[in-house]
Each structure stands twice: as structure tokens, then as C-alpha cells.
Copies of this chain bind each other. A is one copy, B any other.
Amino acid sequence: MFDAIGEGFADRAREATIVNISLYRSSHRWFSMVGKDQPSVHNVHFIPDRKDAEVDHGATILDAALRAGIAIDAVCGGDGKCGRCKVRPVGKFSASTSDLLTDEETRSGIVLACRTEVEGDLTVEVLPRSRIGMHQILTSSIAEVPRPVTPWTRKESVQLPPATIWDNVADLERLWRIFGQSDIPIPLESLKMLPDAIRTGNWNVTVTLSKVDSKDEITRVEPGNTKERHYGMAVDIGTTTIVAELVDLISGDVVGTGSDYNRQISRGEDVIARMMYSEDGGGVELRTLVTETINSLISRLVQGESASCGCQMSGEDIVAASIAGNTVMTHLFLGLPTKQLRLEPYVPAAHHTGYLKASEVGLHVNPSARVMLFPCRAGYVGGDVIADVLASGLHKSSKLSLLIDVGTNGEIVLGKNDWMGACSCSAGPAFEGGEVSSGMRAMEGAIDRIRINDDLSTSYHVLGGERPVGVCGSGLIDLVAEMYDHGIIDRKARIQNIASKRIRPSEGGMEYVVEMKENLSEGALHDITVTDADLQNLLRTKAAIYGACSTLMRKMSESWERVSSIIIAGGFGYHLDIGRAVMIGMFPDVPQEKYRFIGNGALGGARLALLSEEKRREMMRIFDKMTYFELSVDNDFYNEFASSLFIPHTDLGRFPSASKEKRSEAEVEG
């Protein structure tokens, strides 16, 4: 497992966070408002990025950062509720007070970007912890594409008999005649291009046909023979990050990959915050932000391909797009309302929206290109999970498999070739760096692996190799396991009162010092610690995941012995030490060789569906066969969850390997 460390893989972090705070936007202002004689536009200069933004007087620093293209963390969508967007501005500004800032921070000139209005030219230092770093987003996937590839588009080069006064049938019908098929639909956008294309190509044209619902339609007509240039796109719309692949639809090869943060992120980090922002009138803005993100990726991919193939490629050349996203991301991308999805009984507007036209959804590919979105099974089991399954092959095996996509929401699928059960658990953002005092995402500065030495000091690995800033999900799992192993915490994850300079009282309990302030990155104000409160959050998170897995097993009357493989999807797996995750009772205690990682299953699944008719049929079969279980109202789940609020579990018999290890240690000590 340590092989992957330091290669820069990182958490995709595209799932939902349930944050227990009110997210409604506040228009409350604490300080004085703008005078009439003030200049109305100011420059905000961000360091160390050296990026600038021009904003109106009274705009917030968060707005300025968004404009400058700097990703500042703002879980709450800029409502002053999460305290994540800490910055240090110099110049004329007006900041609101906040309980989320310590006295020390306030003394150091630190403010919340979302609560600070620009009143003059500013220089703003973005603190490391507030920054959504440019860590490498997980783009790889193991999915294999069946050959020859069968995208839903095909290109045909045809020679038309030139029109004469005796044969002046219309251009479209002339084309139909060649195909021996009348009434092949053509979108208006493509029809507009037809007459010129035919004449520019001197009656030789290349037609791109799309097969939609078993029926051909004309997507594009180009002059001359362009059969060798045929492009499509696979996209994973994550809540946090978006990954897009440019795919050669002849060879099936990925010719370019691009990824970026979902620009919606500064309007709320998790799906709940986004839905509320959308319902509060921000739907169009969120839709624009996500399409802008994808369109900028398209533009980069197209430029890259133009350079590498020495040709003049444009977005128009992309004639098909396959997109997987969770249910909320799918809704926001399509501009569908989300209120009925957010509130019980969590009803999507549609499970499957079919093949939409690019012009309808706003993507800068060929306007007549069909854009296929993966169907969403339920509010919290979306197209990304269907894509995960498709990429994993779970649906084709006659043996039982369990698929776990761990993020803020854990999504779990149990099944085989003839049935599948799926559920989602609101794991909470602990593994994404939320609700844990020193937690952070898997990015530069994050401790992703940690060992506790006998003197209770620590050895650790930091992503990016520099000094640590905080601890990411895999590091936290290691930490809990190590603390338990060293007797620092008991089975209920309570810190024991051990005589050590690393263990000390903190607000509302004890805390363990992972690393001292002086060893951290410059400007750090606190030690990295883990508190009793943090540990309870982590315990709840792992209990939710294991509880959901075992509830699903119980629903399906299955036992762990019958599970032939456990598939971990998403970037989380790349950092994870499965042994430790089993030791704390987060993952089931089955032989480790049964675990396998598929990486970015959403992207892999999207690519498979783009390239293979068989895989598109499988996608629909997965959707049809999948039964969704709503755990939020399930008593079995609450029992399983409660039993899991121990390390590793109330029932030690479920974790024989973990318990055995612990027992043998106890015997030695005893």
C-alpha cells in the first residue's frame, strides 16, 4: 500500500456533507456601508498566487477570490458559518467579527474572507488551511473497453450526385437518398450548416450519425472526408472536482485528460449547501459555474489535441459526451430543481434524462452532439455509483461483491450479476477534513500516513513532502488505529489520562498532540491535535460506513464469507491502509486479498458507456436491477450503527483478526 504514497494521488472528495448549521444566506452587515464619494472598483491582489481581481466596493474577499480564480475553502457557501475561509488582508477593508476566529487569529489580522468587504485596494494572504490546493485529482481508472469500440456516433463519408435543374431535390433529402433511408432527423443547428458543407466539399461530405433510442439522427455534416477525426468526451462531475477525458472514438484511446475544481465550490462545499443555494435563487448561477468548469476543460483538451495532432481542432469536433455525476450534481448541471430532492422523501426530478442535446445543456462541444448522463438510482445513489459498478464489473460476476465509495457520503452497493442492493450513509465530512479540528483534504501539506512511536511521538508522511498543515482521511484512520493500538484511546475512542506531554486537557475533554506548532509549516498558529470531540466524529463516520455495509448484508440475507470481493472506488482507496481501516472496524474483516481498488470509477464508467454499446446496455441493466434502501428511516441501520460505535465493534467476533491482535497484546501486557 505504501507504494502509492507520495505519488500525489489524492482524495476526490466529491460526496455530500451534512452540516448541522443553518446555511441560509445572511445579508447582515456589521460595519459601515459605502460612502457616495468612494471609488467604486478596487483591486485585490492575492498572495502567494500573485493573482488579481477587480471588484466593486463592498464585495467580499471571497467574491474577489472567486473572480481571481483562487479556490478558497467555504463549506457553508460564504455565510460566515463554517470559519474555513481565513485570510489576512492588508489595505482598506471592513471585517465582521466572528466567534469562529480565535483572539490570537484576530490579533494576527486574520479575518473570514466571506465576512470581509473590500473598501480599497487590498493585498490578501490566503492561509494554507483555507486554500483548496491544486492537488492531483484522481483521474485514473482500471475499466477496460471492449473492442472494437461502438460509440453511439459513427461517421460516414458520402459522395452526393450534384444537384441539377432536373434533379433539384433539397439537400437534406439528397443526403437521405444516399443513405437509402428517408426521415433521418437532423437538428436545426446542423441543417443550417448542410447547404454550405455540401458545396464547400464539392458534393463530398462526411456525416456524423448518432443512434439515439435505436434511431439514427444526423449530428453533423462536414465538407470532404473527415472520417479519421472522430472525438467524444467522458466526464466525471464531482461535487468537488470535475475530470474530463477527450477520447478518440475510432481507437477508443484517451487522447487527453483534464481536471479542475468544480467552480460551484465557492458557493458551498457539499451537496446540501449547493441545493440550498440553488433553492435560494442560485440555480442558474450554479448551473453556469459547473458548465463553465467543464467548458474550460473542453477548451484545454481541444488546445492540447490541436497541438499534439498538429490539426485545428475545435469543440465542434466533439460529437458525443458521456457524463456521470451524483444525483445532486446531475440535477444542478441540468438546471433541475432540487428542493424535492433535499427534503424527505428525497425525490429526484428524474432518474434518467436520456440523450440531451449539447446546445440544451450548454456544453461547448458540437451543439447537436448528444450528451448522455448516467441514470441516478436515488437521491444519494447517483450516476457516479452506477458508473462505479459499471467500471468495477460487479454486475457481471456470478459471485457476490461489495462496492464502497467513501466520501462524505458513503455509497455502498452489494450484489452480483442478477441483483444489486444499494444504500448511502451520511458518513459526515470527517474523512474530508471536516468536523475534525486538524482535518483537511488529501492535498499538499496533509499527513496521509502516520505511526505512533513508543514515546507517543509520531512518524508520518506528508503529501507534497513539505511540512504538515493537517491530517487527511487516511491519516486520521491510521491515527485512530495507532492511538487504539498504543492504548491512548479505549474501545469507545475516549482519550485515556496517560502521563505524556503529548496528552493534555482541551476544551471539553482531552487531546493528543500529533505534531508541535514549531514543526509545522510557517505561520501555523496551533499544534496539530486530535481531540475527544474529533475522535467521536471519526467514530461516528466509521460506524456509519460499517453499519451501512452490514445493514445491506442483513437486508440481502448475505454473510461476509460469501463476499468474494470488496471494491473500493474513488481516490480514498489510494491513500488507505486497509488493515488499519479494518482494525478500527470501518471495513469488514475479510481477507485483505479480497479488497481491490478501481480508482475513479465514475470517470471509468463514463468512458466505457461512451465507447461501448454493450456497456450502455449494461449501464441500464445496473440501473434497472439496483434496489435502493433508504437508511435514514431504517431501524436495522440504527442498531447496526450503534453497535459499530466501538473499536472495532461491540461484537468482537465480527473482527477476529483485529481482536486477535489486540488480545495477544493484552496477554503479553497482562
Contact = CB atoms under 8 A, between A and B. Distances in A.
Given A168-B630, A170-B348, 14 more contacts: A163-B347, A165-B344, A165-B633, A170-B349, A171-B350, A174-B347, A185-B354, A187-B360, A188-B334, A188-B335, A188-B353, A191-B349, A192-B334, A192-B337
Interface residues of A, number: 50
A171 B345 contact: no
A169 interface: yes
A336 interface: yes
B185 A337 contact: no
A171 B340 contact: yes
B188 A361 contact: yes
A168 B345 contact: yes
A120 interface: no
Contacts of A194: 349-350
Interface string A538-579: 000000000000000000000000000000000000000000
Given A165-B633, A195-B337, A340-B195, A349 B188 contact: no
Given A192-B336, A336-B192, A340-B199, A379 B347 contact: no
Nearest to A189: B360
Contact of A173 (B170, B351, B632): B351
17 contacts: A163-B347, A165-B345, A165-B346, A165-B633, A168-B347, A170-B351, A171-B349, A174-B347, A183-B354, A188-B356, A188-B361, A191-B353, A192-B334, A192-B349, A194-B349, A196-B337, A199-B340
A147 to B, nearest CB: 30
Contacts of A308: none
A324 interface: no
B339 A195 contact: yes
Nearest to A337: B195
A378 interface: yes
Interface in A623-649: 630, 632-633
Interface string A161-189: 00111111111111000000001011110
A235 to B, nearest CB: 17
A335 B185 CA distance: 17
A344 B353 CA distance: 44
Contacts of A166: 630
Nearest to A170: B348
A172 B345 contact: no
Given A165-B345, A192-B335, A345-B163, A172 B633 contact: no
Nearest to A212: B185
B347 A172 contact: no
A356 B97 CA distance: 56
Interface in A339-373: 339-340, 344-354, 356, 360-361
Contacts of A340: 171, 195, 199
Contacts of A191: 334, 336, 349-350, 353
Contacts of A199: 340
A195 B348 CA distance: 8
Contacts of A185: 354
A532 B623 CA distance: 80
A351 to B, nearest CB: 5
Contacts of A174: 347
Nearest to A196: B337
Nearest to A167: B345
A172 B349 contact: yes
Given A191-B336, A337-B192, A345-B165, A172 B351 contact: yes
